[in-house]
A and B are shown apart, each in its own frame.
Chain A
Amino acid sequence: MSKPKVGVFGFTGCGGCQLEILNLEDQLLDLVSAVDIVHFREAITEYSDDYDIALVEGSVTTKHGVERIEKIGDIAKIIVAVGACACTGGLNCLKNLYGLEKAKDLVYGDKKDWIDTIETKPIDKYVKVDYMARGCPPNRFEIVDVIRSLILGRKPEIPNYPVCVECKRNGNTCVYELGMTCLGPITRAGCDSRCPNSVSGCEGCRGIIDNPNVNAQKDVLEEYGLTVEDIMENFNLYNACKKIEQK
């Protein structure tokens, strides 16, 4: 097995995903020896344009970003989107909700013309994404799983079942019982139900499963005296770029 060359790239985001890679702690040294990291701004100075696998963090929000992601698309054999911003557009999409001009006005006032910004999009709007390690931040073990799978030549196992499954395996009390709302029933698992583990409702940072039962979710909300608006506020945090089809 020859070592795959890996590049880690950051677009608009908080750097948390790359940090989660550095947070691998016990496994970091194994990672460094299992692959050749040829490009990783957050950790190394050297860089190269010769890589097989691109791990991409962040969403595309500038014209310059579009050029860069397209270049990565030309070079990399496999592209892995890492984190909510890259996979679904994440929090950055909130900007779209306000409209570009209004957002620029609010932050930069009369100096707004100096700013290069376009509508926020996840990277798969520009390049073919092979795998996604979702979440904000992504589960670092899932990142390892994706990398390891790519080394071994297998398909990473990324669940398509809802967070409730993991939540129950962890023996949590459902937060609805505690009077909170939760997007767990329609959000893709893989985070080990981190938020419910901490007695907080899931905010849907990993995106929606393939076949969500949206109508049932509405019924549940009604049952607990809540409205769709309540949950949309949460839903929009990470999924403003995606519209749920109302089935």
Chain B
Amino acid sequence: MANTFSIEEENVSRVEGHGDLVLDVKNKKIEKLQFRIPESPRFFEAMLVGRKWDTPSHITSRICGICSVAHTYASIKATEAAMGINNINDQILKLRKLIFHHECVQSNVLHVYFLAAPDFFGVGSAISLVDSHPEVVNIALRVKKMANDMVRIIGGRAVHPIRTVVGGFTKLPTIQEMHQMKEMLQAAYPDLENSLEVLKTLDIPDFERETEYISISDPVDYALYDGNIKSTDGWEIDDQDYLDKINEKVVKHSTGKHSWASRDAYLVGALARFNNNYDQLSDNAKQYAEELGLKPLNYNPFMNNIAQFVEIVHSVDDSIKLIDELLEEGLDEDKAIVDVKPKAGRGVGVVEAPRGLLIHDYTYDDEGKVEKANLIIPTNQNYANIEKDLEEMVPQIIDKSEDEIKLACEMLIRAYDPCISCSTHFLNVKLVNK
């Protein structure tokens, strides 16, 4: 039993670290708790200044390989809003929603099966999982391949899509590819069912902390691509007015900025979407949620993984629906893209990245070059909330062994899915008793 200890990443400056935790406990009381991101700052907001309107989506896609589609669209939507483009047709919208679903699936699969599952099964990594639970790995690889292929077909490649541009698509999938996608989606159901059985057996830590959940929301769709910004604290605003509620500050211990809205911290991501938009989930997804004991409003951050899985189910269902509609209407290459005339103005693009609310805000000059850019990324928004959760959780488990405390902290942070880099390696922390 440890009353006084500190957990600190070993040699922060030498081992590569994207995120680490500093936890200092004296006599069962937290002296210092900081979750920090010593990730190299990348200056995207600066890189964008002066660029022509058709490049920001390509540049911002490179903020994160796992959420490249989300960044692409936050960017495209911001630009389209600034240029006053309001004639994006149904075909484009549906294809955008389709590709969005599958980035979400790509990322959720990675997170549920490769990053969180090893913890629950008590093995060190997905590679060890290959030996201990080959069936789980195979399911994960198959579902991931399906999602990757979907993004490849619609976007031209699995990471940093090519065809997705301001105004629409440079090229549409063929009818044959649409059918192929549908078949792939249908083939995923058995894997989802098997996963359900596996997930039911998991022992999910029982920890709750009431907080604010923010996501976008739409009356019809389970919103990923478009919607108003909505909070479990009862407010809802137009996405262009995000500044009315969302605040950001630079904190010294981290290169990621911290955010707050109605209270001192809030949470974004799958669980936030689930809590705000439960009604719009497909029936099938609701069924899965019920079997896994997930109901809105849920305040257990560990359930984020379950919400992610439920989202995979919804995405598969909704994709089949979208493909059927597109096939019925027929694909029209002439309507693949709408004309864009650059002009001055400001526009905001808000979407749901797999790990939560993502906001791009651009101001353009008359030539259609970026004058100013502001980006609010999901991982940053969660930092403050992660710290608050840890502050509450650590005292509850303070009587456990240091290893157990460490693991619990890691699992909690991983549950947030901050970004794959931080969510795995963060684990190499060193414990020094004081």
The answer to whether A111 touches B145, judged by C-beta atoms less than 8 angstroms apart, is no
CB proximity to B under 8 Å, residues A149-206: 194-195, 197-200, 203
Closest Cβ of chain A to B224, distance in Å, is: 20
The answer to whether A203 touches B250, judged by C-beta atoms less than 8 angstroms apart, is no
The answer to whether A108 touches B41, judged by C-beta atoms less than 8 angstroms apart, is yes
Complex Cα distance, B170 from A203, in Å, reads: 15
Contacts of B110 in A (CB 8 A): 22
Q: Per a CB cutoff under 8 Å, which of B40, B52, B145 touches A25? A: B145
Complex Cα distance, B44 from A137, in Å, reads: 18
Complex Cα distance, B144 from A197, in Å, reads: 23
Contacts of B128 in A (CB 8 A): 44
Contacts of A20 in B (CB 8 A): 65, 158-159
Query: Chain B 246-269 against A: per-residue CB contact (8 Å), 1 yes, 0 no?
Result: 000010100100000000000000
> Is there a chain A Cβ closer than 8 Å to B180's Cβ?
no
Complex Cα distance, B163 from A10, in Å, reads: 27
Q: How many residues of chain B are within 8 Å of chain A by beta carbon?
A: 59
Closest Cβ of chain A to B130, distance in Å, is: 6
Binds B, one of A73-81, A88-96, A216-224: A88-96
> Is there a chain B Cβ closer than 8 Å to A136's Cβ?
yes
Closest Cβ of chain A to B121, distance in Å, is: 13
> Is there a chain B Cβ closer than 8 Å to A1's Cβ?
no
> Is there a chain A Cβ closer than 8 Å to B114's Cβ?
yes
> Is there a chain A Cβ closer than 8 Å to B43's Cβ?
yes
The answer to whether B428 touches A106, judged by C-beta atoms less than 8 angstroms apart, is no
> Is there a chain B Cβ closer than 8 Å to A28's Cβ?
yes
> Is there a chain B Cβ closer than 8 Å to A42's Cβ?
yes
Known: A42-B420, A45-B125, A200-B170. A91 touches B62 (CB 8 A): yes
The answer to whether A106 touches B45, judged by C-beta atoms less than 8 angstroms apart, is yes
The answer to whether B130 touches A107, judged by C-beta atoms less than 8 angstroms apart, is no
The answer to whether B130 touches A68, judged by C-beta atoms less than 8 angstroms apart, is no
CB proximity to B under 8 Å, residues A1-55: 9-20, 22-23, 25-26, 28-29, 32, 37, 41-47
With both beta carbons as reference points, the residue of chain B lying nearest to A71 in the complex is identified as B14
Contacts of B63 in A (CB 8 A): 14
> Is there a chain B Cβ closer than 8 Å to A67's Cβ?
yes
Closest Cβ of chain A to B298, distance in Å, is: 28
Closest Cβ of chain A to B105, distance in Å, is: 13
> Is there a chain A Cβ closer than 8 Å to B33's Cβ?
no
Known: A25-B144, A29-B130, A91-B62. A15 touches B46 (CB 8 A): no
Closest Cβ of chain A to B260, distance in Å, is: 17
Known: A18-B65, A194-B156. A98 touches B49 (CB 8 A): yes
Task: Give the size range of A's interface with the partner.
Answer: 35 or more
Query: Chain A 121-146 against B: per-residue CB contact (8 Å), 1 yes, 0 no?
Result: 00000000000000011000000000
> Is there a chain A Cβ closer than 8 Å to B157's Cβ?
yes
Complex Cα distance, B218 from A145, in Å, reads: 45
> Is there a chain A Cβ closer than 8 Å to B202's Cβ?
no
> Is there a chain B Cβ closer than 8 Å to A209's Cβ?
no
With both beta carbons as reference points, the residue of chain A lying nearest to B163 in the complex is identified as A198
Contacts of A47 in B (CB 8 A): 425, 428
The answer to whether A237 touches B55, judged by C-beta atoms less than 8 angstroms apart, is yes
With both beta carbons as reference points, the residue of chain B lying nearest to A41 in the complex is identified as B425
Complex Cα distance, B48 from A94, in Å, reads: 9
Q: Per a CB cutoff under 8 Å, which of B16, B65, B118, B250 touches A14? A: B65
Contacts of B65 in A (CB 8 A): 13-20, 137
Known: A109-B250, A200-B165. A41 touches B46 (CB 8 A): no
> Is there a chain A Cβ closer than 8 Å to B51's Cβ?
yes
> Is there a chain A Cβ closer than 8 Å to B162's Cβ?
yes
Closest 4 CB pairs of A and B: A16-B65, A44-B125, A198-B156, A103-B46
Given contacts A32-B127, A198-B170, 13 further A-B contacts (CB under 8 A): A9-B16, A14-B65, A16-B159, A26-B145, A45-B425, A61-B42, A107-B43, A114-B250, A194-B157, A200-B162, A200-B163, A233-B52, A234-B55
Q: List 29 A-B contacts (CB under 8 A).
A: A14-B63, A14-B68, A15-B419, A16-B66, A19-B420, A22-B110, A23-B144, A32-B127, A37-B127, A43-B126, A44-B128, A44-B424, A45-B425, A45-B428, A47-B425, A61-B40, A61-B42, A67-B13, A92-B42, A95-B43, A104-B43, A107-B43, A109-B250, A114-B252, A117-B41, A136-B62, A137-B160, A198-B157, A198-B170
Interface residues in chain A, defined as those with a beta carbon under 8 Å from any beta carbon in chain B: 9-20, 22-23, 25-26, 28-29, 32, 37, 41-47, 61-62, 64-65, 67-68, 71, 90-92, 94-95, 98, 102-104, 106-109, 111, 114-117, 136-137, 194-195, 197-200, 203, 233-234, 237
